[in-house]
């Protein structure tokens, strides 16, 4: 079996491969119609770390996703890094992480 090096698919270093904040801002504030969700407490308008959705029973879901290019070659290690990155966004919003998918 051949060793796969994830970094061979990356042209930069992790978050350095993301699009610029100006491009992201123009995409998020385009003329596309915006859906209205009354229970969505935090959406993409505030540029926060995660979305917050009120379930209506006193609890909320704090949800986040992220993508960045591989910064290590090992897939398991990269999955752990991606999970920790997403979990830190939940903590930044005052949430209590209980699951991560990477």
- Using alpha carbons, select from 99, 75, 71 the residue that is nearest to residue 87: 99
β-partners of residue 40 are 53
Q: Which of 14-23, 32-41, 76-85 has the highest average model confidence (pLDDT)?
A: 76-85
Helices vs strands, H then E, count in the chain: 2, 3
pTM for this entry = 0.70
Which CA distances in Å does 82 have to 41, 61, 65, 91?
25, 20, 9, 15
Active-site amino acid positions: 15
Is residue 22 within a helix (H) or strand (E), and if so which, with residue range? helix 21-28
Please, which pLDDT band fits residue 22 given cuts at 50, 70 and 90?
Answer: confident
Residue-wise pLDDT tens digits, 29-73: 777 677 789 999 998 777 788 999 999 999 999 998 877 788 888
pLDDT at 68: 79
What pLDDT is attached to residue 4? 80
């Amino acid at each position: 079996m051949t060793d796969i090096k994830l970094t061979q698919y990356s042209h930069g270093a992790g978050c350095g491969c993301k699009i610029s904040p100006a491009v992201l801002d123009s995409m998020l504030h385009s003329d596309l119609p915006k859906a209205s969700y009354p229970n969505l407490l935090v959406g993409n308008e505030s540029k926060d770390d995660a979305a917050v959705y009120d379930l209506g029973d006193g609890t909320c879901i704090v949800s986040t996703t992220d993508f960045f290019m591989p910064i290590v070659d090992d897939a398991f290690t990269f999955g752990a890094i991606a999970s920790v990155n997403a979990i830190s966004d939940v903590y930044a919003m005052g949430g209590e992480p209980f699951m991560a998918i990477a």
